[in-house]
Each structure stands twice: as C-alpha cells, then as structure tokens.
Amino acid sequence: MLCVCLQFPACAASMLLLISNANCQMTGFAVATVGWILTITSMGLVEWRLWYMDNTSIFPSSLVCVGLWKVCIYHRVGDYSGATFCYQYGYRDTYLPLDIRISQNLQLVASVLGLLGRASVIFALRNVYVGILQKSATFNPFVASGILNLASGICISIAVVWNHHSVMNGEGIIFLPSVSLPLKPSTQEIGSALLVACLAAFMMVLSGLLFLSCKFPTVSRVHPETDM
C-alpha cells in the first residue's frame, strides 16, 4: 500500500499525517499505561494516612498507617520499629468513614476504566498499523479511550481530594475494639500513597487530553488493485 501511495502526492501526505498522529496516540498510550499502573499501586499501598501516637499508658508510641483496605501499626521500641499488627477491612466494615468507603469504590472504578481505555486504544492502534483508516474503525476508539481515561483520572482525583480534606481536618476513624486504636491520633498527615495517587490522576487526565486533542484524519483505506 505504501508503494502505491508514494505515486500519489495526496495519498503520501495523508500517510505522513497518519504516522504523525499515530505517534501522538502512542505517547498517550504510554502515559495511560504508566498512570494505570500507578492507580493499581496506590490502591495496594497502606500509607494513605499517617497517624502518630504519643506514648501513653494506654497507647504506646507508634506509627499507624491507614490505607483503603487495611491499617498497620508500627510500634517503636528504641531505635527499632516494626509492624506488629495489620488489620484488613472491606465493604462489609460499616465502621469505616464515608470518605474511605467511597475512595475504595472510586479507585476500583478508576482501575476498570483505565483498563478499558487501554483496550480501546490498543484496538485503535492495531487498526492504524494494519491500514484500516475509516473514522468509525479508528477515530472513535481513540475518543472512547480519551473519555475513559479522563473519567478514571477524575475518580482518582476525588478520592485524593477527599482523603486530603479528612486529614487536614483531623477527622478520626472508629476502629473495632480488637484493633486497639483511639478515635483520633495525636497528629496525622498524608502519606506517600496519596502522592502516588495524585501522580496517577495527573497521568490519566493527561493521556485522556492527548487522545482527545490529537486530530486524526478521515481517510478511506487505499486498495492497490483499484488505484492501479
């Protein structure tokens, strides 16, 4: 097809434009892939909130890492600190505050949307490189991927902002008595997982904007037997 295209200036120009835009879409795909991996990673990290407990007769000096799916307690003994207890929780644990329960769902939805977005752009890129250039077969999957990635980034952003707001306001969590944690810590701050989620949200939104902003020409497939 390329040899036939080079015989016609208009067709050659279209092919160069297709290659240029395909590179743009490949960049968006790479950014979306990294953003999706960071989304999955942030869900598994426990350092969404860091609780610092002062040493008292009831609660020994410790660092508590509160994640979306579990909480871990690190007791400090001199210069040594180790995780002495981790407790996992899920959808059935109604004692969790609304922000954590909503964030659980938002992160799951974001990961699914990101996966669907990657599948859509893989399908579209496959059509580009095999020569299927009709708008309905190539352009729409790119647009769908852009919308899915944007929606994924928005979901992550909501979870990040809500958790950040809870930490800044010093909101507590009523854990089960078996966890042996107070309602609120002495001090608390955001953890590294929130920063990973921020980066994931940025990359997912960026990839979505790339897919939506890169123009793709409407070109019908070139058939050598008809052009010759």
Q: Which domains does the chain have, with CATH numbers?
A: 22-212 (1.20.140.150)
* Distance in angstroms (rounded) separating the CA atoms of residues 188 and 43: 20
What's the chain's Rg over C-alpha atoms?
25
Q: Where are any strands of DSSP class E within 41-182? A: 49-53, 62-66, 70-77, 80-88
Chain centre distance of CA 183: 30
Q: What pLDDT was estimated at residue 33?
A: 92
The length of the chain, given as a count of residues? 228
Helix (H, G, I), strand (E, B) or coil at 80: strand
Summarize pLDDT for 141-177 with one digit per residue, the tens.
Answer: 788 889 999 999 999 999 999 999 999 988 888 888 8
pLDDT tens digits, 3-60: 334 343 444 444 444 445 557 778 888 999 999 999 999 998 999 999 888 765 556 6
Mean pLDDT over 194-205 rounds to: 95
* C-beta separation of 25 from 121 below 8 A: yes
Q: What is the pTM of this model?
A: 0.77
The pLDDT assigned to 114 comes to 94
